[in-house]
Structure 1
Amino acid sequence: MAPQQRGSGGRRRFSSEFKREQLARIERGELTIAELSREVQIDQSVVRRWKHLIERGSTTAVAANEDVVPASELRVALQRVRELERLVGKKAMEVEILQAARDEVKKKPRWYGVSKR
């Protein structure tokens, strides 16, 4: 059968290389989508989705009128954004703590170097 792995939920996951090989067989006319779907025991819509994704280059546009970028680049960028948002939150907490400490110090009288006689 086909090189596959079981993903979460028990779904079969085929490698990108396997998908490309199978789509190449269809394009060469060795078999039809229906024949491939029977051979691999998957729905024809899955094969059509593979074809669509590979034709599209597995790219993603975040919104209309934006440049199309590879999905992997988008995933990395979103991960970086989450990391930076976490750091900004951490720094905001540090600033609040330091400001509160400064305010407490300002409230206390300063008797440094002044003798009370």
Structure 2
Amino acid sequence: MYLVYEHIDRGSLRKVLYGDEGSLELNWRSRVKIVQGIAHALAYLHSDCSPPIVHRDVTLNNILVDSEFEPRLADFGTAKLLSTNTTSWTSIAGSYGYMAPVIYI
């Protein structure tokens, strides 16, 4: 069994935001593109996948950015598949200092 990764030129979003040359190139248009891309990825995982997937570790280190500032969501090590016919609570997982918000309906 093999795991194949796509080469991502700029690395993680943390490197792009806080690195030496990355923050100089990251204008507002690029920032909006990154936010929209991650929102689209999360919407796809939660609404379009069957069963739905909860990532549980969306951090700057787990968002990779290519040369065109297109984001890629990475590191699904703590992801969880949810059953579509039940209400599920997940245990705390992910990077230290991050916890997904709780939504009450």
TM-score calculated relative to the size of structure 1: 0.25
- Give the TM-score normalised by the residue count of structure 2: 0.27
Q: Which has the higher contact order (CA 8 A, sep 6+)?
A: 2
Q: Over alpha carbons, which structure has the higher Rg?
A: 1
Structure 1 or 2: more helix by fraction: 1
